Amino acid sequence: MSLRAARGAEARRSGRRAEVWAVMWLMARGYRILGFRLKTPLCEIDLVAKRGDVLAVVEVKRRARLEAALEAVSFDQRDRLRRAGAQLAANRPALKGCTVRLDLMALAPGRLPQHIPDAWRGS
């Protein structure tokens, strides 16, 4: 296996571990996980979670710093995630009245996960 392929495989494993941590963190805070690595026509959503009347489309990023995690999600990706979440809510009767929100779960080595609801409010 080439060095590049090995790094890619490790990045995928690290990303999956981060998603599992994010699921446990959100469930411990009362969220119900509705989807995990959900493929939509617009994009892949890392996590879809619901608490109350909020449908959270959650992007999971593992980086050294919170700022780096926020910056790792481009404007175009945020737009696709928002549209995918809105489409998901509109197409499922049980989710029709939900407010769709784009959240970030930022994970860093040796630190507790940080859940940032509505992480890119206004952008």
Per-residue model confidence (pLDDT) at position 30? 97
Task: List, in order, residues 6 or more apart from 86 with CB less than 8 Å away.
Answer: 100
The whole-model pTM stands at 0.89
For Cα atoms 8, 9, 14, give the angle at the middle one, nearest 5 degrees. Answer: 95
Per-residue model confidence (pLDDT) at position 53? 96
> Is the CATH number of domain 3-116 3.40.50.720?
no
Confidence band, pLDDT 50/70/90 cuts, at residue 32: very high
Cα gap 88→103, rounded to integer Å: 16
pLDDT of 58 above 80: yes
DSSP β-ladder status, 114-116 and 99-107: antiparallel
Largest CA distance in the chain: 49
Confidence band, pLDDT 50/70/90 cuts, at residue 123: low
Domain boundaries, the chain: 3-116
Supply 57's token pair.
Answer: 């489309």
